Amino acid sequence: MQTVPEENPPIPDAGPEVELAQAEPSSGSAPARKGSGIGLWLRDLLVSAVASVLIITFLYQPVRVEGTSMLPRLEDRDRLFINKFVYHISAIERGDVVVFRYPRDLEKSYIKRVIALPGDRLRIDHGNVWLNGKRQIEAYVPDEFRDSRSMAEMVVPEGAYFMMGDHRSISSDSREFGPVERSLVYGKAVFVYWPTRDAGVVR
């Protein structure tokens, strides 16, 4: 499943004005107060718009999903925000849904779930994932999306992560192209915003 950056990210509404104080009325000052009020409103609107653009530019990026390997949570053409900053201050964890550059073609981006971390011992036995000797309970993979593929035990290399799609029977993932280097991971899927029927936090 690929993701495609949105060219024109939406700018959130500036929101309702909050009136902090109101001067006592005085004769002959109504026009000045009105002009001043409009100026303050325009200033606050501009500041809110600039802040929104900066947040989207430096913290969040809208992307479009292409493909169905992350069903049932992410559908083809879903649009979502990814957090581009979070992994600068916190570690990648098992279960995170991340966006990374496809190792075999860096022009493409994939979205998958982190299954194993650096140093983990991983094997897959007829579709069942075993980590460090323990079988994993993967509630995010519906029974109808499971497969019966197996993979011999491996140790995930340092600085790399093993990725898999939730729709196991059709996903092209680390079972084919191997663990993904940390340097290729550039965002964490956070929130689906379109279509509205799919809107919500990505888990």
- pLDDT at residue number 196: 93
CATH number, domain 59-201 = 2.10.109.10
Q: Flag the least confident range among 17-21, 25-29, 175-179.
A: 17-21
Strand 134-135 and strand 128-131: the pairing is antiparallel
Q: Round to whole Å and give the CA distance between 203 and 196.
A: 17
Residue 147 confidence (pLDDT): 96
CA–CA gap between residue 173 and residue 170 (Å, rounded):
9
Angle at 128 between CA 143 and CA 65, to 5 degrees: 60
- Report pTM: 0.75
Burial 92-129 (b: 16+ CB within 10 A, else e): beeebbbbbbebeeeeebbbbbbbbbeebebebeeeeb
How remote is the C-alpha of 128 from its chain's centroid? 26
In this prediction, residue 5 carries a pLDDT of: 64
Collapsing DSSP to helix, strand or coil, 86 comes out as helix
Question: 111: which strand partners?
Answer: 99
What does the pLDDT look like over 166-199, one tens digit per residue? 999 999 999 999 999 999 999 999 999 999 999 9
Taking residue 145's Cβ as centre, other Cβ atoms within 10 Å add up to 18
Which residues are catalytic, by number? Answer: 69, 112
The owner of tokens 């993904």 is 180
Question: 175 near 152, Cβ under 8 Å?
Answer: no
- For residue 108, the one-letter residue type is K
Q: Where are the domains of the chain?
A: 59-201
Block residue for tokens 């009136």: 19
